[in-house]
Chains A and B, each alone.
Chain A
Amino acid sequence: MKDNSYHIFRKVHLYASLSIVVFLLMYLVTSYLMIHGDWFQTYFHEDEVAEIMVDPSEISKDNWAQFMDKYHIRGRLTKEHISSTGDLQREYTTAGKNFRITVFKDQNLVEIKTIKRNTAGTLVGFHRIRGFGGPLQYDLYAIMLDLVGVSLILFAITGMILWLKLLKYNLAAWIVLISGFVYVSAIVAYLLIV
């Protein structure tokens, strides 16, 4: 008779996987797209550049949100720096687009470069988006990504525990497990040493 812990681990294993099915499927598809980026032209994008004359107050810290709304800039702030010429550069990222904004120093001029990815690139964009900060949906997405990370680890560990409880004398399963471990360890060791 199986002990009670078997049922608990089985539930944890099941729920950890069910909670992230969408993300697992998305990662499977997008990883394949990334591995074969050349086949699917995931790096293909169309660029649009607009130069806008603005009033300095329009791009002040207080009015930045309105400025973004006005020019349909969306996404999460992923890069911000001052260039060697003193221009402020900001980049906002969504799954399908990047918005690179340059506020030229001492000029009332802003350049907005919109980089639009194709369908494959947009799918890969879901894979790449990460981190907290920005509009609410990006924080929710980041929470989901943490959940994915924790669930993947839980899912794997509880899976191994279930196997040990169910079929620990199965030689073929041991061979699969040990060969996977030896292979990954050998790759890691090689990268560490050489």
Chain B
Amino acid sequence: MRKSLLIKIHLYCGLFTLFYLIAFGFSSIILNHDIKLEKSDVTSSWNSTVTIDANLDDEDLAESVRYQLDLMGWTPPWEFRKDSITFFFKITHPGRKYHVNLDLTTGDVQVGEAPKGFLAVLHGLHFFNGNFPNAPFFLRTWAVYQWLTLFIMFISIVVGLWLWIKYNYHRWEGLVFGGLFVASMVIMMLI
């Protein structure tokens, strides 16, 4: 295969995965240092009314309310707080948290919105697979992008290594980075 073609394959693959790599590089450092980026302040709130099915358990009730409010995200059960009059729960996705206060006697709901912020969203892409309850089709396409990116990144690495070995290989680079390769493997074996 001609060198220019290999360079183009490497380049297109690289450009396709560019923003993903930057987001993951950033996110890896954040995770490694356990830095909290998520904002938690409620910045706005609004009210609505929903119908309550008394036969539902807490999890199903939270999901029913989420559906009626047309909100997307998970409803973590460990955030549920319930008494005879009110049911408090949260709906969360990588960009926002909703604090939902449901009046069980009237069906009135008060929703507080807590945006997590740009950096938290960028970081959240690390864990996001495009799939959470009520997510629209557009967000679900992320799973395809993620899969394609992995595949393309693999091609990019293989082609890049091939170009290096075939056209630009220096013995000292092979020794240094070969050594680093082995050292990394040894560290992995030890953990």
Query: A residues near B, CB below 8 A?
Result: 14-15, 17-19, 21-26, 28, 31-32, 35, 75-76, 94-95, 126, 129-132, 137-138, 140-142, 144-146, 148-153, 155-157, 159-160, 163, 166-167, 172-173, 176-177, 180-181, 183-184, 186-188, 190-194
Contacts and interface: CB of A to CB of B under 8 A. Distances in A.
Given A21-B181, A35-B129, A35-B147, A163 B15 contact: yes
Contacts of B21: 152-153, 155-156
- A-B pairs, 10 with minimum CB distance: A152-B25, A191-B95, A149-B29, A149-B28, A153-B25, A22-B184, A18-B177, A137-B190, A156-B21, A184-B19
A182 to B, nearest CB: 10
B25 A191 contact: no
Nearest to A123: B188
Nearest to B73: A194
Contact of B187 (A17, A18, A137): A137
Contacts of A156: 14, 17-19, 21-22, 25
A149 B190 contact: no
Contacts of B22: 152-153, 156-157
Contacts, number: 166
Interface stretch (B52-60, B99-107, B152-160): B152-160
Given A18-B177, A25-B157, A180 B18 contact: yes
Nearest to B186: A137
B15 A180 contact: yes
B69 interface: no
Interface of B: 7-8, 11-12, 14-29, 31-34, 72, 93-96, 115, 118, 121-122, 124-125, 128-129, 138-139, 142-143, 145-147, 150, 153-154, 157, 160-161, 164, 168, 173, 177, 180-181, 184-185, 187-188, 190-191
Contacts of B146: 31, 35
B125 A188 contact: yes
Nearest to A145: B32
Contact of B16 (A14, A28, A176, A186): A176
Chain A interface helix/strand/loop/mixed: helix
A130 B184 contact: no
A75 to B, nearest CB: 8
Contact of A190 (B25, B138, B168, B191): B138
Most buried by B among A94, A140, A142: A140
A29 to B, nearest CB: 9
Contacts of A23: 184
A25 to B, nearest CB: 7
Nearest to A23: B184
Contact of A194 (B27, B28, B95, B154): B95
Given A19-B177, A156-B14, A190-B95, 19 more contacts: A17-B157, A21-B181, A22-B188, A28-B150, A28-B153, A35-B146, A126-B188, A129-B191, A130-B28, A137-B187, A140-B187, A141-B188, A146-B28, A149-B27, A149-B28, A163-B15, A176-B12, A180-B16, A192-B115
A117 to B, nearest CB: 13
